[in-house]
């Protein structure tokens, strides 16, 4: 059975999780043009975690929505980043992305 304490703890941790996901997504979109679709000013719809077989590690997947006023339609972009970025400091992420860019 779920208790009130469990629910309140979940809500608090979900906010921390969501905020860090947004922070990482914004950072990545500034560092690497291949992450352009990762973040739109209209915000993120959802985050979820899963295993990425290509990278052989856990990833965060996200969907962001952009609405085109003139066209009356919306577009959803999907992107991903390693789960470990949530507890990795931003400077280490920057270094990793820059190093990967050189190795391309």
At 28 the pLDDT is 87
pTM: 0.75
Q: pLDDT of 64-81, one tens digit each?
A: 777 666 677 777 777 889
At 98 the pLDDT is 87
What average pLDDT score do residues 76-94 get? 91
Q: pLDDT of 37-52, one tens digit each?
A: 555 555 666 777 788 8
Sequence-distant (6+) residues with CB within 8 A of 61 are 47, 48, 49, 50, 78, 79, 80
Range of the domain at 54: 4-103
Burial of 83 (0-12, 13-18, 19+ CB in 10 A): middle
At 69 the pLDDT is 67
Question: What's the mean per-residue pLDDT of the chain?
Answer: 81
Count of domains forming the chain: 1
């Amino acid at each position: 059975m779920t208790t009130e304490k469990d629910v309140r703890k979940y809500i608090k941790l979900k906010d921390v999780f969501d905020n860090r996901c947004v922070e990482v997504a914004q950072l990545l979109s500034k560092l690497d043009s291949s992450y352009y679709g990762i973040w739109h000013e209209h915000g993120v719809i959802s985050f979820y975690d899963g295993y990425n077989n290509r990278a052989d590690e856990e990833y965060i997947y996200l969907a962001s929505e952009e609405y085109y006023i003139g066209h009356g339609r919306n577009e959803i972009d999907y992107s991903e980043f390693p789960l470990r970025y949530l507890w990795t400091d931003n400077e280490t992420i920057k270094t990793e992305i820059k190093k990967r860019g050189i190795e391309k």
